[in-house]
Amino acid sequence: MKITEGGNYEIPEETYTGNVTIDVTDTKEPVNITIKGNVKVTGSDPFIDVVKAGVVNINNEGNYEVDGVTVARHFMYVKDAAAQVTITKGRYKSVTFNTIMVWAGTLIVNDAEMESNCYCIYAGGSSSNVTVNRGKYTHTNLKDRSAFFCEGGSSVTLNDVTATSVKTVVINNASTVTVNGGDFKTTGSNSCFVNSSANLTINKGATTEGNFESEGASCINNNWGRVEINDGTITSDADCTIKNRGGLRMNGGTVATSNAEGTGIDCNGDFGDTQINGGTIKGGKDGIRLADLGSSEVTLKNAAFENNTQSNIHLGEGQTINIKKTFTGTATILTDDPSRGRHITLENEDLSYQNKLKLFSMNSGYIIGYKRGDDGVEYRYLADANGNIVNAVNAKATADLGAGEQELDTATVVPENTTVTVTANLPEGAEGAEFLGWSAVRDDGKELDLGDDQTAQFKMPGCNVTVEALYQGGNVDPVNPGGGSSSDVVAGIAAVALTGAAVWGIYETGTGIYRVLNMPDVPMPSNRAGLATLIWEKAGCPEPQTVKSFSDIDDADLHLRQAASWMEEQGLMDDVKENEFRPYRYVTKLQTCLVWDKAKEESLIS
C-alpha cells in the first residue's frame, strides 16, 4: 500500500507480503493509520516506510502484535526531517533488524511494547528527535546492541520507560539523551548507559522516581561525555556504579552499590571535571575514588555519604579534591600515599572556611590538619594524629606540622617535641597596655618558662599547653576581652591559668588576690560555668530579670542558665557570641579573683 495524501487508513489483521510506503507531497492533512488486528510481516522491508510526510498517527488501541520475527523485518523507517510520527500502543517485535529506525524527523511513541535482539529504536542524525512515553522495551541478545541506540547528533527523551536488556539499555554516541524517571535494568554484565562523547541527563519522571540497575558492570559508563544526574537511584554490583571518564554533574539522586568492595563513583584519568553538588553516595567500600586526574578537577559542593566502609573520598597518589564551603556534611578521606604535610584539598584564597569542613583521615596515624597562610591561602593536609593542643590567649602560636610554619588553633594537634613559637598580640581595645610577660601552663602541672620577650619558643610536651600574654593597663575586661568594663589594675587577661611569683607580685597588693585565693570556702572554678555559678550562689541565687536560652547550655539546666543570665545582667560576664555562653571555656584564678572583687565592690556579694 502506498499512501500519497492525508486521510484515514486501516491495517487489518493478516499476513502482509507487501509494505506501507508513506510519500505525501501535500502535508497539510495528517495521515491516520489504525492497526485493527495482529499483523505478521513477510514482505518488503520495512513494513512502514515514511519517505515524505507531515503528521502521521499510527493507532494500535487494541494493543495488537506486529510480528517482525517470523520473517526478519523492521517495523518502520522515518527518513523525512519534516515528518512528525506518533505511535500509540501496540506490541512490536523484531529479530536481526531494529524495530524502528529514525534517520530524520520526529518520532513519539506512547505506551507501546517493543522487543528485539537488535535495537528497539535507533536514532541517527542531527535532525532526528525521538520521545518515548512510558511503555516496556526489551532487548534480548546480540553482541554490542541495546534497547536504544543514539548517534550522529540525535536527540532522545525517555519518559517513565521500563527497559530491560541482556546488554545495554542506552548507547549514546555524540548525541543528547534525557531520561525522566523509569526503570532500567541490565542482566548481562553490561552498563545501563554507555555515554561516549555525548550528553546524558537523568531526572525524576512524572510518575516514577527513576531506578537504574546494572549487574556485573557499572550502571553508567561515561567516556569523554557529560553526565548530569538530578534525581533517581543508580545502582550496580560491579567494581563501581559510575565509571566516569568524562564530565559529571551530580546535583541530586542516589548513587549506590551492592558490592561491599565497590566504589560509588570512580573518576580516573584526565577526561573532564566532576562536580558533586548534591545527592547521596552510599553502600560501598569507597564513595568517590580519584586517580590520575591530570588537569581535571573534582569539586565537592554538597552530598550525603552513607555507609561507605573504607572512605567517603579515596584519593589516589598525588590527587586532591576541591571542597567548597557549601559542603556541610562529614567526609572520611583515605589516601594511597599518606605522608606528613600531604595536601588533601585544593588551595583557595580570600575565603576562610576550610577549617570548618568536617574531614576525617582514614590513614592510620594521621589526622586532617588545616593551614591558612598570611596571604590568605588555606587548605587541608595530613598531619600527625599523635599530639596535643596549644591554647594561645592574646598571642599567636605557630609551628611547622609538615606544611610549613602555620598558625595553631585549639583544633590543631601538635606532635611532641615540635618547636612552637608564640608571639604576643595586644588585645583589641587595649592600646597603650604594657606587656608584662607570659603565663604558661602545662596540663601535667609542670613548669614551662617562656622568659620575658614578646616572642618565645618551647618544645611541645606530651600534654596540652595554655599560654597567655599578660598586659597591664588599657581597657579590656578581664573575663570578656573586647567588651565590658575595665579593671584599674589588670586588663587583657582571658581563659588561662596564671602562675609565676613575679607576675603574681604585680597584682597582689592592688586586688587582695592573695587573701581571696586562701579563703577555704571559695573553690577555684576552672571554666566560665563554674565562675558564674560561684558568684551567683555567693550572691544568694537571685532571680535574673530574664532567664535566657543559650545555644550551648541545655535548656533543662535551669541552674546554670539562671546563673549565666544574672551574671550578664550585672555586667560581670558577657555572652561570647550572640546566644552563646561558652560554659566550658577555661578561666584563670586571677579572673576569678577580679570578678569576685568587682562583685564585692558593687555589693553583690559579701
CA–CA separation, 580 and 283 (whole Å) = 38
Asked if pLDDT for residue 473 goes beyond 70, the answer is: no
Note whether 514 and 533 are within 8 A (CB).
Answer: no
Note whether 168 and 186 are within 8 A (CB).
Answer: yes
Asked if pLDDT for residue 487 goes beyond 80, the answer is: no
CA–CA separation, 81 and 98 (whole Å) = 20
User: Is the bond into 481 cis (omega within 30 degrees of 0)?
Assistant: no
Counting residues of the chain whose pLDDT is more than 70, the rounded percentage is 89
Asked if pLDDT for residue 178 goes beyond 50, the answer is: yes
Per the structure block, which three cell numbers stand in for 438? Answer: 607570659
Please tell me the predicted confidence (pLDDT) of residue 504: 38
What value does the mean pLDDT of the chain take?
A: 88
Note whether 282 and 307 are within 8 A (CB).
Answer: yes
pLDDT tens column, 572-591:
987 666 788 888 776 766 67
Please tell me the predicted confidence (pLDDT) of residue 256: 98
Nearest partner of 278 among 299, 304, 307, 313, judged by Cα: 304
H/E stretch holding 503 = helix 501-511
Residues 6+ apart with CB under 8 A from 554: none
535 residue type, one letter: I
Please tell me the predicted confidence (pLDDT) of residue 589: 65
User: Minimum mean pLDDT among 171-185, 255-269, 379-393, 499-513: which range?
Assistant: 499-513
Q: What is the mean pLDDT of residues 40-64?
A: 96
Confidence grade of residue 381 (pLDDT, cut at 50, 70, 90): very high
Note whether 414 and 433 are within 8 A (CB).
Answer: no
Asked if pLDDT for residue 175 goes beyond 60, the answer is: yes
Note whether 198 and 150 are within 8 A (CB).
Answer: yes
Please tell me the predicted confidence (pLDDT) of residue 496: 30
Residue 342 phi, psi (nearest 5): -65, 130
Place of cell 557529560: 226
User: Minimum mean pLDDT among 146-155, 325-334, 390-399, 492-501: which range?
Assistant: 492-501
pLDDT tens column, 99-135:
999 999 999 999 999 999 999 999 999 999 999 999 9
CA–CA separation, 296 and 358 (whole Å) = 24
Asked if pLDDT for residue 482 goes beyond 50, the answer is: no
Question: Kind of pairing, strands 274-276 and 254-257?
Answer: unpaired
Please tell me the predicted confidence (pLDDT) of residue 350: 66
Please tell me the predicted confidence (pLDDT) of residue 594: 79
CA–CA separation, 58 and 216 (whole Å) = 38
For residues 58 and 491, the model is more confident at 58
User: Minimum mean pLDDT among 35-49, 260-274, 332-346, 525-539: which range?
Assistant: 525-539
Torsion sign over Cα 224, 225, 231, 233:
negative
Residue 541 phi, psi (nearest 5): 55, 50
pLDDT tens column, 4-16:
999 999 999 999 9
Please tell me the predicted confidence (pLDDT) of residue 429: 64
Nearest partner of 213 among 230, 196, 238, 195, judged by Cα: 238
Nearest partner of 303 among 318, 315, 293, 313, judged by Cα: 313
**Using the 8-state DSSP alphabet, how is residue 261 labeled?**
T
**Using the 8-state DSSP alphabet, how is residue 280 labeled?**
E
CA–CA separation, 476 and 488 (whole Å) = 10
For residues 431 and 154, the model is more confident at 154
Please tell me the predicted confidence (pLDDT) of residue 479: 46
Partner residues linked to 498 by β-bridges: none
- Angle at the Cα of 475 from the Cα atoms of 472 and 481, rounded to 5 degrees: 95
The domain locations on the chain are: 239-385, 388-506, 512-606
Q: What is the mean pLDDT of residues 252-266?
A: 97
Confidence grade of residue 449 (pLDDT, cut at 50, 70, 90): confident
Please tell me the predicted confidence (pLDDT) of residue 581: 86
